Chains A and B, each alone.
Chain A
Amino acid sequence: MAPHAELETQINRWREYVQRREAISPTDVDELEDHLREQIADRQASGLDDEEAFLVAIKRLGNLDAISHEYAREHSDRLWKQLVLVPEAPDGARKRRWRELAVVLALAVGAGLAVKAGSAWMGDGEVLMRNLGLLVFPFLAAYFGWKRRFTGAVAATLLVPFAVLATVLNVYPFTPGSSTGMLAALHAPALLWLLTGVAYAGGRWRSDVRRMDFVRFTGELAIYYTLLALGGAVLIALTLATVQVVGTDFEPVLEEWILPFAVPGALVVAVWLVEAKQNVVENIAPVLTRVFTPLTTAMLLVLLAVLASAGGFADIDRHVLILMDAILVLVLCLLLYSISARDPLAPPGLFDALQLVLVVAALAVNAAMLTAMLARIAEFGYSPNKVAALGLNVLLLVHLIRAAWLAVGFLRGRRPFGGVERWQTRYLPAYGAWAAVVVVVFPLVFGFL
């Protein structure tokens, strides 16, 4: 291609330039390049030389800022990487980054102090367990409030449910060791997490796109938090080993000071990391979901086989039931996260079929558990634990059935992937509503036992 070498260089330079736009993906650039080359070929046929043809083609393609803006509007999932469309002056950006780091560290220390003060004040028992989420949540909300510049209305949407929850958890006269108190402690974090979602969305929590962003955020937060926890654990283990050689007992310091600060502090730092370094995890996320979807499916199938061979679903132990509920919730998280990490425009493929298998396996486990629970309730009567587990199971069942139905439609090319996504995001508040019922209504109905 020696005669057109100059043209090729120009096209390559143009490609590199376009690729720097976050909103335009590499395949989109391929599509645009094909267009550009067609246009150039037509101009050449009408008698223009290489350079003239290139210039005309570029001109006809239009202003790149405007096009990139248009791509960003259509693919808002790509846009969230850069939150601002117009890049800021590098100097202002650097100053803002330092300020952000200072805010994050202050909030992390604040969260640690709150937990430490809480444990000093309430002891290490059930009261602290019920309040743990309440102690950390304000600092996460404060970060998003600072970052997204909350309006008064958004702050109120967060404050009112928070105040109600705090009141309920601390004013209700829970009997010590009661299951309603335990259930409240377990369900309160779920509620607080959905409130965090409202904070994350900057109050625009009704938007499906923002909800999906929050799901993605949650998954990436889990990854970052795990990484931080692993690193922290290694450091602590090494320190512990070294200090023990010297002959000092390090454990009280660890339990009294390091863990109460590190565990909540790391959460705040992880939230910031997800916000600041999205691109890093975003590339691992699809890989992780592809690895764990088949593995989880295999696990569910093994579980089913074990439970079935253990002699009928009706007399499964209570602890196994609780464990299985936890597994199903995890499966659902994986499902949600892989849906959020998927390119909505990609055609149905093998992985979508695998996902459907996962959903169907989860459905089978869910159905087995429902029979077991109904059998237990028929035999032993109602208890707060059983009703809470049953409610969660029914919620999961509805979610999974509809998800499976939509996935089949998508695989057969009957409906776009958007429908699958929308169902997930629209259904999320149902979990919040159920958690609220468990926290607020259950203690009243079951007499705080």
Chain B
Amino acid sequence: MRIDKDLVAASATPLVLGILSDGDLYGYAILKRVSELSGGGIQWTDGMLYPLLHRLERLGYVSSLWGTSEAGRRRKHYTITAAGRDALAERQEQWSVVANALRQVWQSAQRPPAAVEGWA
């Protein structure tokens, strides 16, 4: 199943911040984690992750540090900051409101039409 583009864009920031709140990671590892968490359902265009990470860095939500990989290449690691955790908590609240509302909508959609008649 392919997830809609707008939905992917909207969920990108909380996903990245949430993944980083478990520990420092570099770009490729973040993408792998996203793929694992969604069972392969969320597929990002890989290149788009980096401008997003840079934006989060500019906003002060993450900080970065160049290190080296096991193969000896330069690799940039990202760490969530205190401001990033605050932002994540706020996003979490927003998403739970949305998710809660959606859950109720799904439930009422499954109900037989008789239950709705009273409103007519």
Q: Residues on A close to B: CB < 8 A? A: 27-28, 30-35, 37-39, 60-64, 66-67, 70-71, 73-75, 344-345, 347, 413, 415-416, 418
Contact = CB atoms under 8 A, between A and B. Distances in A.
A38 B73 CA distance: 11
B58 A67 contact: no
Contact of A35 (B27, B57, B58, B71): B27
Interface in B60-118: 60, 63-65, 69, 71, 73-76
A61 B60 contact: no
- Interface class of chain B by DSSP: mixed
A35 B51 contact: no
A74 B55 contact: yes
B22 interface: no
B47 interface: yes
Contacts of B63: 347, 413
Interface string B36-67: 00000000011110110011011110011100
A39 B51 contact: no
B38 to A, nearest CB: 16
A62 B46 CA distance: 6
Contacts of B47: 32, 61-62, 64, 66-67, 70
A416 B46 contact: no
Given A34-B76, A61-B47, A416-B60, 17 more contacts: A27-B76, A28-B54, A30-B74, A31-B50, A32-B47, A34-B27, A39-B28, A62-B45, A62-B46, A66-B48, A67-B48, A71-B50, A74-B54, A347-B65, A416-B59, A418-B58, A418-B60
Contacts of B50: 28, 31-32, 35, 67, 71
A71 B55 CA distance: 9
A38 B49 CA distance: 15
Interface of B: 26-28, 45-48, 50-51, 54-55, 57-60, 63-65, 69, 71, 73-76
A31 B76 contact: yes
Contact of A38 (B28, B51, B55, B74): B28
B58 A73 contact: no
Contact of A39 (B45, B46, B60, B74): B46
Contacts of B76: 27, 30-31, 34
B46 A61 contact: yes
A75 B27 contact: no
B80 to A, nearest CB: 14
Given A30-B74, A34-B69, A62 B28 contact: no
A369 B69 CA distance: 54
B62 to A, nearest CB: 10
Contacts of A63: 45
Contacts of B71: 37
Contacts of A64: 47
Given A30-B74, A418-B60, A70 B69 contact: no
Contact of A60 (B27, B46, B75): B46
A31 B27 contact: yes
B48 A70 contact: yes
Contacts of A62: 45-48
B51 A71 contact: yes
A43 B46 CA distance: 15
